[in-house]
Amino acid sequence: MQHILLGVLWAVCYVLALGYHLLLWSTGDVPSTTVALVYHVVVLTGYTALWFLLSSLFRYRHPVPGRVFWGMLLFGGLYVVLAYLAMQIPPAGIVGMAMDRDLPLAPSVPFKISLQALLKAGFAFVLLLRFRSLVLVKRTRSSQRNWNLMIGLMVVASLSGFMKSPREEVSLVQGLAIIPAVVLMVINAFRLSWIVSLSFRAKMATSAIAFLLLLLLLSLAGIDSGVEGFEAVPGATQALLYYSYPLAIFTGLAIYFGILYCTTAFLSLLFHLPTTSDFQRKAGEMAIMHSLSNLVGQV
C-alpha cells in the first residue's frame, strides 16, 4: 500500500510539473514568484516520493558486488541511450528554453525537459541506493549514521539552489554548502569491507567493471552547465537545471559519489589481489577447525 501511495504522489506531482511548463509555453509570460514557489515545492515533493519508493524497493536486496557494478553499468548505458533519444525531441539537439526568460520555445520542450529530469534523477537515485547496499554490508551504527548524514547534507546542499535561475552558476554559498556533503561522501567511499571475501577471479572481474562504470560516470558528471567539458548527453545537465536547480545539484552530487566509490573500489580491488590466496587459506583453515570442533563435540 505504501508503494502505491508513493507512486501515485510522484505521478501527480510529475503531471503537475509538466502542466506548469505547458502553461508557461501557452501564455508566454514569466510566472509570478508564488506560482514558481509552488512549482518547485511540487517538484521536490514528487522526487522525494520517488526516492522513498525506490529506497523501499531496493532496501532488502542482498548485495552481490559484481552484480551491483555490472547492473549499474548496464543501467547507465541504457540511461545514456534514452537521454540521447529524448534530446532528439524537436527542437532536436538543444534544450529549447528561451535564455532570457526561461520559457519553453515549443510545446514539445516541456516533455523533453521533464523526461530528461526523470531519466537522470532515476539513474542517480538507483546509483545511490545500489551503492548503499555495499556501503552498509556491515550495518554498524556508525556506517548507517554516516550514510544518513551524507544524504541529509546532500539534500541541504541541493536546497541551497532553491528558486535559483538556471542561468546562474554555482555560488559561493552553494559551494560552502556542498563541502560537508563531499566530506561525508569521501568517508562513505571507503566502506569497502565486501572486497575481502571475494575470490581472485571475482576481484579481477569487479575491478574491470568498476573501471568501466567510473568512465561512464565521469562522462555524466556535472552540476553547473557553464563548466566546459565532455558530456555523454549534451544538454542533459542544462535541461535538468531548467527543470529544477536543487534536483540538478542532488543528481550531480550522487554521480560524484559514484565516481568516488568506483575509484576507491577499483584501487582497493587491485591492491587486494595479492592477498586473496592468504585470505582463502585462512578461511579454509577456519572451516577445518570448525568441522573438527563439531566432530569433537559429537564424540
Average pLDDT per 10 consecutive residues for the chain, totaling 299 residues: 90 95 87 91 96 88 84 94 88 70 82 93 95 87 92 94 80 86 94 84 90 93 54 84 92 94 93 61 48 50
Is residue 104 within 8 Å of 110, Cβ to Cβ? yes
- The H or E element spanning position 38 is helix 33-58
Would 275 be classed as within a structural domain? yes
Would 82 be classed as within a structural domain? yes
Predicted pLDDT of residue 167: 75
DSSP state of 252: H
Would 240 be classed as within a structural domain? yes
Question: Which has the closest alpha carbon to 272: 216, 215, 210?
Answer: 210
Predicted pLDDT of residue 237: 85
- Of the CA atoms within 13 Å of residue 179, those in its CB half-sphere come to 5
Domain count, the chain: 1
Would 46 be classed as within a structural domain? no
Would 53 be classed as within a structural domain? no
20: Cβ–Cβ under 8 A, 6 or more apart, which residues? 31, 35, 39, 42
Predicted pLDDT of residue 285: 46
Would 161 be classed as within a structural domain? yes
Question: pTM (2 decimals)?
Answer: 0.87
Would 48 be classed as within a structural domain? no
Predicted pLDDT of residue 165: 78
Give residue 15's identity as a one-letter amino acid code.
V
> Which cell is 226 given?
557553464
Is residue 209 within 8 Å of 198, Cβ to Cβ? no
Question: Which has the closest alpha carbon to 223: 151, 148, 171?
Answer: 171
Range of the domain at 201: 63-298
Would 44 be classed as within a structural domain? no
Predicted pLDDT of residue 229: 52
CA pair distance 282, 272, nearest whole angstrom: 15
